[in-house]
Structure 1
């Protein structure tokens, strides 16, 4: 799968593979929260964690993949695409802590959304957002997503390894639909 995406301001996007694990280790060295690539580990990735996480994001194996957002050879964040059915893809994103609030996520999510509609024939792309995550809610609106529904206690907090002992929170689903095909008039046959 080819991806050639320029995001302005010296940013470019590329599909990440296990060969990019060192970039992921460096990018997460200041992280204290759960990152995009897996529910665990929390915080900085060790090399073996980064390799394992990126192997799970191999489009040939799992169908899901991660698009790295880079400036030169420095990983600033990523956008993950997780197909969940024909024409439908969940999108998630992560920006390294020291690069947040600089518009990188907005540019990346917008560009990857448009690319996925076109290159992957995705009719529906959706975000799952914690209602308390104000920056993500604003980003969704800014880049053209629309609120679809609230899913009560749908998203796991990952405060426990055991799902039965974990806490769960509501999630808001925001969607971006590709332009609908024009409806052609149905002409009666003579």
Structure 2
């Protein structure tokens, strides 16, 4: 796919370029980004160069990973990243990081909502997955505000710096945004409460008691 630009009320999501190396390298020195995301730790300058010159263009060319740099709509340097990763069969996964000085302003919720809308309307996504290492409450708060349904814990779900870690998992469907799905979805009906046939056959006030009475 040819690179595109997305916009929200306050932000522009554009494709990373090699000239972003200095600022990407600087942001990824943040301890929280290195601790909770899958960027290398420590994060050398070579990692920023490899990301911008290989991972980003290869992902767009092969339609496997779409990475966006996030910057203010009215101008200013990039301060966040969001990526959509193809997991096959119409399933995509979202990942993101945010520079520390911009946290607490609702930016990441706005970014993820914008990327999710494009996934559903532009990529034919039928299910968008969010995962974060258990304990990453900031990422979980973003997912919940966007509308992801939390589905539980995926044991050994994330590999980070050679160690498998448990992950919270959530999903977002096109219907959560009021959008049609490319593939029909039929959720199961709730089963009626089960009834013990023996109990149903007993007359009212039968006087039955439990063992040892």
**Under a length normalisation based on structure 2, what TM-score does the superposition of the two structures give?**
0.70
Residue aligning to 1:186:
none
Aligned residues: 172
Q: Which has the larger radius of gyration?
A: 2
Q: Give the Cα separation in 1 of the matches to 2:26 and 2:158.
A: 28
Residue aligning to 2:88:
85
Q: Give the Cα separation in 1 of the matches to 2:6 and 2:122.
A: 12
Q: How many angstroms does 1:94 deviate by?
A: 0.3
Q: Give the Cα separation in 2 of the matches to 1:171 and 1:106.
A: 20
Residue aligning to 1:151:
154
Residue aligning to 1:57:
56
RMSD: 2.5
Unaligned runs of 5+ in 1: 184-190
The CA deviation string for residues 63-97 of structure 1, in whole angstroms up to 9 with x for no partner, is: 21211111224011010111010311110000012
Report the secondary structure of 1:153's partner residue. Answer: strand
Structure with the higher helix share, 1 or 2: 2
Q: Do structure 1's residue 178 and structure 2's residue 178 form an aligned pair?
A: no
Report the secondary structure of 1:101's partner residue. Answer: coil
Q: Give the Cα separation in 2 of the matches to 1:4 and 1:57.
A: 14
Cα distance change on mapping 1:8 and 1:49 into 2, 3 Å: same
Residues 35 and 42 in structure 1, CA contact (< 8 A), matched pair in contact too: no
Residues 36 and 136 in structure 2, CA contact (< 8 A), matched pair in contact too: no
Cα distance change on mapping 1:37 and 1:137 into 2, 3 Å: closer
Residue aligning to 1:187:
none
